[in-house]
Amino acid sequence: GDSVTQMEGPVTLSEEAFLTINCTYTATGYPSLFWYVQYPGEGLQLLLKATKADDKGSNKGFEATYRKETTSFHLEKGSVQVSDSAVYFCALTPDDKIIFGKGTRLHILP
Amino acid sequence: EAGVAQSPRYKIIEKRQSVAFWCNPISGHATLYWYQQILGQGPKLLIQFQNNGVVDDSQLPKDRFSAERLKGVDSTLKIQPAKLEDSAVYLCASSPSRAGGYTFGSGTRLTVV
C-alpha cells in the first residue's frame, strides 16, 4: 500500500545551520505531498505542499520539491532558528485521506 | 475563520473505563477525520466521514471504538473499554471536500493507567 518513510530523529542542529529532512514515498498513483509541523503542545499545521511532479512547495523559509523520479520530497531550510524546533511529518494523499510518516523531531540549539 | 475545536484537551482514565471525545469541524466542511497519534509515531486514520456517512472505518478497532456524526456537523469518538495501548493523542481534522484542504484540531491527549 501507499506509505511514507522519513529519516529518524532526533535531529540536532545549531542555529543558522542548513537543514535537510529526507522523505521518500511509495504510491501507486500520483499523490499530493505535504510537510506538516507540530510545535510542542500544539496541533498539526500544514507547512507546505506540492501537488504534482517538479512542483516546489515553500513556506517560512522551508522548501521541498516533488521528485517523481526518486519518489522523494525532502524538506530543506537554509538557516534554521531555535523557533523551528518541532516535529516534522511528511505525508501524502493518494486519494482523499492523509498518510503520514513517523515524524522527525528537530532540536535547534542557540 | 474558527478552527477545528476538540474537547477535552486532556483525559486520564483507568483501563476498562470508557471515554468520549468531541470534535466540531470548521463550518461547512463536509469531510471529517479522526486520527490516532501514538507517541513517537505519525497519525493513523481511524475513521472518515462524508457529511453524516462513514467513508472509511477500516482501521477502527470496532470491538471497542465507535464514532458518530449524526447531523453531519460535530462528531464524537468513544472508547469502551479502554486499554493501556489506547494512550495517544486523538486528532480531528476536517476538509471542505474529499479533495483536500485539511485543518487539524489541537487534539485530545488520552492517558490510560
Partner A contacted by B59 (CB < 8 A) = no
What is the pLDDT at residue A95? 79
Tell me how far apart the alpha carbons of residues A56 and A66 are, in angstroms, rounded to a whole number: 6
Across the range B81-104, mean pLDDT stands at 88
What is the pLDDT at residue A107? 97
Which chain A residues are within 8 Å of B48, Cβ to Cβ? 96-97
pLDDT at B1 over 80: no
Grid look-up 495517544 returns B88
Q: Is B28 exposed, middle or buried (0-12, 13-18, 19+ CB in 10 A)?
A: exposed
Tell me how far apart the alpha carbons of residues B68 and A86 are, in angstroms, rounded to a whole number: 32
| Beta-strand runs (E) in chain A | 3-6, 11-14, 19-21, 23-26, 32-38, 44-50, 56-59, 62-65, 75-77, 86-93, 99-100, 104-109
Tell me how far apart the alpha carbons of residues B83 and B16 are, in angstroms, rounded to a whole number: 6
Partner B contacted by A69 (CB < 8 A) = no
pLDDT band at B98 (very low <50, low <70, confident <90, very high): low
Which chain A residues are within 8 Å of B104, Cβ to Cβ? 36, 43-45
Residue A81 CB: number of other CB atoms within 10 A?
A: 13
What is the pLDDT at residue A41? 79
Report pLDDT digits (tens) over B59-83. Answer: 999 999 999 998 889 999 999 999 9
Partner B contacted by A46 (CB < 8 A) = yes
What is the pLDDT at residue B99? 59
Report pLDDT digits (tens) over B22-50. Answer: 999 999 999 999 999 998 889 999 999 99
Q: Is A14 helix (H, G, I), strand (E, B) or coil?
A: strand
What is the pLDDT at residue B100? 63
What tens-digit pLDDT sequence spans chain A (110 residues)?
Answer: 889 999 988 999 999 999 999 999 999 888 999 999 999 878 889 999 999 999 999 999 999 999 999 999 999 999 999 999 999 999 998 877 889 999 999 999 99
Query: What letter would DSSP give residue B70?
Result: T
Mean pLDDT over the full length of chain B? 93
Partner B contacted by A52 (CB < 8 A) = no
What is the pLDDT at residue A86? 96
Tell me how far apart the alpha carbons of residues A38 and A87 are, in angstroms, rounded to a whole number: 5
